[in-house]
Amino acid sequence: MAIKSKHVPDVDRLEKGLRSGDRTMLAQAITLAESTLDSDRKKSEQLIEKLLPLTGKSIRIGITGVPGVGKSTFIETFGELLAHEGRKIGVLTIDPSSEKSRGSILGDKTRMDRLSKNPNVFIRPSPTNLTLGGVSHRTRECMLLCEAAGFDVILIETVGVGQSETHVRNMVDFFLLLMLSGAGDELQGIKKGIIEMADGLVITKADGENIKAAGQAVADAKTALHLLAVPASGWKPRVQSVSSVENKGIELVWKMILEFQKFTMTSGFFQEHRSEQKKKWLEESLENLFRDAIAQPEFAARKEKMIARIMNDSVAPSEAARKLWKSLGAE
């Protein structure tokens, strides 16, 4: 079923609205970007093209961690700190569990209640159930739209299970992994691969009875990081414990991110990384287009016919594949 964008203004009005930082227009532009309707797609692409010169000026931060680790609560306290400094923060959440229910997204909304009322903050949950593989495509577009509307810190929350964190890693400058303390040296089943992707680790809920365990978790995490090779950025990931409810350690995470930015900008990695990500975006877009094309019923019907021909040996599978491939271009 196509997800339509209702009552969205035309491209010129949206462009003007975003240039003046209009949040309603931003929300509508995102709705347009998320639409699966071909005509909306085209409009969205036009809009983004017009706005491209305004994009890229934010610091893009991905925040991941197992369900319940405290991502949304962290974003709320962190976001308030940044908003207080006069920054404008765009928060995008990607929640694979929303494929089954909207519960989590609604939960996030209530948990970011204070933040969502802040005039310097724009929060938008990104449903991932629109099309298979469409996750990163749309989130990137939403990110660019937020930047064009003047948001200078982009926070992307994603649950650290499955594929979504790799998608997010591919579109952010800094990747922050949140972890619980007291869950043992197994690092809570978080795959080593995810730790390797992180530029910073945060031990959450370092308050009350948890303080001692949090201190131990920081030491354990530091040991774990020592065993890893230094990443391509040359930046050695750091560990910080925080309490989002008591507002402790939060500003140190921001300091860490600013230091990272300075370090990678000086070395040139920051810009190189962004260029790599643009190439990756192209690759992923191509894959998405291909996947969408072969998921069309007309294509599936042609494939079925081709299978029948393969079965009675009137065509070889490789040639059948080439014929099917050529038929895609005609659409």
Ligand X SMILES: Nc1nc2c(ncn2[C@@H]2O[C@H](COP(=O)(O)OP(=O)(O)OP(=O)(O)O)[C@@H](O)[C@H]2O)c(=O)[nH]1
Residue whose CB is less far from ligand X, 32 or 82: 82
Residue whose CB is less far from Mg ion, 106 or 300: 106
Residue 252 makes contact with ligand X by CB under 6 A = no
Indicate the Cα dihedral angle 291, 292, 293, 294, nearest 10°: 50
Residue whose CB is less far from ligand X, 28 or 118: 118
Q: Which of residues 229-248 bind ligand X (CB under 6 A)?
A: 243-245
Give DSSP secondary structure letters for 92-109. Answer: EEE-GGGGT-SHHHHHHH
Binding partner of residue 201 among ligand X, Mg ion, none, CB cut-off 5 to 8 Å per kind: none
* 3-class secondary-structure state, position 245: coil
Please count the residues of this chain forming the interface with ligand X, following the rule CB under 6 A.
18
Binding partner of residue 205 among Mg ion, ligand X, none, CB cut-off 5 to 8 Å per kind: ligand X
Q: Cβ 111 to Mg ion, closest distance in Å? A: 6
The C-alpha atoms of residue 142 and residue 88 are separated, in whole angstroms, by 15
User: Which ranges of the chain would DSSP assign to H, the alpha helix?
Assistant: 11-19, 23-34, 38-51, 71-84, 103-111, 113-116, 135-148, 164-169, 192-197, 211-226, 250-267, 269-294, 297-311, 317-329
Residue 111 makes contact with ligand X by CB under 6 A = yes
DSSP class of residue 208?
Answer: G
- The answer to whether 240 and 252 have CB atoms below 8 angstroms apart is yes
Q: Cβ 74 to Mg ion, closest distance in Å? A: 9
Residues forming the site for Mg ion (CB under 5 A):
71-72, 108
Binding partner of residue 169 among ligand X, Mg ion, none, CB cut-off 5 to 8 Å per kind: none
Which residue in the set 22, 45, 196, 207 belongs to the binding site for ligand X (CB under 6 A)? 207
Residue 139 makes contact with ligand X by CB under 6 A = no
Instruction: Write out the two tokens for 3.
Output: 């997800």
Which residue in the set 65, 90, 125, 200 belongs to the binding site for ligand X (CB under 6 A)? 65
Which residue in the set 17, 62, 70, 90 belongs to the binding site for ligand X (CB under 6 A)? 70
Tell me how far apart the 2 most distant CA atoms of the chain are, in Å: 73
Residue 164 makes contact with ligand X by CB under 6 A = no
Residue with tokens 């990678």: 264
Which residue in the set 41, 67, 191, 323 belongs to the binding site for ligand X (CB under 6 A)? 67
Residue whose CB is less far from ligand X, 17 or 125: 125
Residue whose CB is less far from ligand X, 65 or 79: 65
Instruction: Write out the two tokens for 87.
Output: 């920054």
Indicate the Cα dihedral angle 227, 261, 251, 122, nearest 10°: -120
Beta-ladder partners of 65 = 159
- The answer to whether 177 and 201 have CB atoms below 8 angstroms apart is yes
Residue 251 makes contact with ligand X by CB under 6 A = no
Q: Cβ 93 to Mg ion, closest distance in Å? A: 7
Q: Cβ 150 to Mg ion, closest distance in Å? A: 25
Residue whose CB is less far from Mg ion, 71 or 138: 71
Instruction: Write out the two tokens for 8.
Output: 């969205």
Residues near ligand X (CB under 6 A) are 65, 67-73, 104, 108, 111, 159, 204-205, 207, 243-245
